[in-house]
């Protein structure tokens, strides 16, 4: 699942390549993917891509001109807001998607771009699996900030994480950190990583932390997301792989030794979620073994 670092890297690389590219055509083979109809996606034809940004775990692709121009909006500025959900990716291809490509959800054909590419490319929102949960909304600039998906986002987790006294006291730390209305950008992977970094038990109640622990957790968010983005982003190039390499230490590493203390990393499962932690570093040596704990992952 792409979280803040992966989405930030995607935005930077695509923006550097595609700024100034002109849209030839835009369509949505994923019938359920577009959640807005005005302006229609095909109004992007003739528009210039003005940049790719990020808010929380969402991508914002800016456009201006072309079919977006109206009497009320002579500059024709609009943003395609995209949420990749768990299995979506926004990637750039030099080959056209075939009609048979079942992963294509939104296809934007472009010419040119800031990287000097000479020819036609496709910016494609693709999604693995048969479920269509990734979504897009094409919003005029005047309507963007009022969109409830942006309006309800909490403060950005990076580059300057908020004071964590904002975490709802009765929620588990892992649940509160992943709630986009509380802090924007962190999901399962980075919640596990920052709690491990701060040596704090993931299922503690947010209100139980003392000031030092809250400060340590905030610093862990800053340090680990910095590590995953700053410097690292410069080592990656387009085309991005389906599974972007990320510097994980515990999430997805259950059964392996903790890189800090050597104890075995454990995991708690709930439905498709897997929470990884180190018992020595985080839970006073005690594993979460009771079924009660897996239910807490719902929070």
Residues engaged in binding Zn ion (CB under 5 A) = 258, 260-261, 263, 278, 280-281
To Zn ion, the closest distance from the beta carbon of 296 in angstroms equals 21
* Smaller CB separation from Zn ion, 18 or 195: 195
* Smaller CB separation from Zn ion, 75 or 256: 256
Angle between helix 211-229 and helix 4-18 axes, rounded to 10 deg: 30
* Smaller CB separation from Zn ion, 102 or 260: 260
- Give the residue among 27, 137, 42 at the shortest CA–CA distance from 82: 137
To Zn ion, the closest distance from the beta carbon of 276 in angstroms equals 11
To Zn ion, the closest distance from the beta carbon of 264 in angstroms equals 9
To Zn ion, the closest distance from the beta carbon of 261 in angstroms equals 3
Alpha-carbon gap, residue 202 to 208, rounded angstroms: 12
Question: Chain-centre distance of CA 112, in angstroms?
Answer: 26
Alpha-carbon gap, residue 83 to 71, rounded angstroms: 30
User: For the purposes of burial, counting CB atoms within 10 Å of the CB of 237, is it exposed (0-12), middle (13-18) or buried (19 or more)?
Assistant: exposed
* Smaller CB separation from Zn ion, 179 or 263: 263
To Zn ion, the closest distance from the beta carbon of 185 in angstroms equals 25
Alpha-carbon gap, residue 129 to 132, rounded angstroms: 8
* Smaller CB separation from Zn ion, 159 or 257: 257
């Amino acid at each position: 699942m792409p979280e803040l670092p992966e989405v930030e890297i995607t935005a930077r690389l695509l923006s550097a390549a595609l700024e100034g590219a002109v849209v030839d055509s835009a369509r949505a083979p994923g019938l359920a993917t577009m959640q807005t109809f005005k302006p229609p996606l095909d109004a992007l034809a003739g528009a210039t891509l003005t940049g790719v940004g990020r808010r929380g775990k969402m991508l914002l692709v800016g456009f201006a001109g072309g079919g977006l121009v109206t009497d009320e909006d002579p500059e024709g500025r609009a943003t395609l807001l995209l949420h990749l959900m768990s299995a979506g990716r926004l990637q750039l291809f030099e080959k056209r998607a075939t009609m048979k490509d079942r992963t294509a959800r939104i296809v934007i054909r472009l010419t040119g771009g800031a990287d000097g590419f000479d020819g036609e490319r496709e910016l494609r929102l693709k999604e693995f699996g048969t479920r269509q949960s990734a979504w897009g909304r094409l919003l005029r600039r005047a309507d963007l900030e009022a969109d409830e998906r942006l309006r309800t986002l909490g403060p950005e987790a990076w580059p300057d994480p908020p004071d964590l006294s904002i975490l709802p006291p009765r929620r588990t730390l892992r649940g509160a950190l992943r709630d986009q209305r509380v802090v924007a950008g962190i999901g399962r992977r980075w919640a596990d990583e920052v709690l491990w970094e701060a040596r704090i038990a993931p299922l503690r109640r947010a209100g139980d932390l003392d000031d030092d622990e809250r400060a340590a957790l905030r610093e862990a968010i800053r340090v680990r997301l910095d590590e995953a983005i700053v410097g690292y982003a410069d080592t990656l190039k387009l085309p991005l792989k389906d599974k972007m390499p990320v510097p994980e230490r515990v999430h997805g590493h259950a059964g392996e030794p903790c890189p800090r203390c050597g104890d075995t990393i454990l995991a708690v499962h709930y439905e498709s979620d897997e929470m990884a932690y180190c018992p020595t570093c985080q839970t006073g040596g005690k594993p979460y073994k009771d079924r009660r704990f897996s239910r807490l992952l719902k929070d």
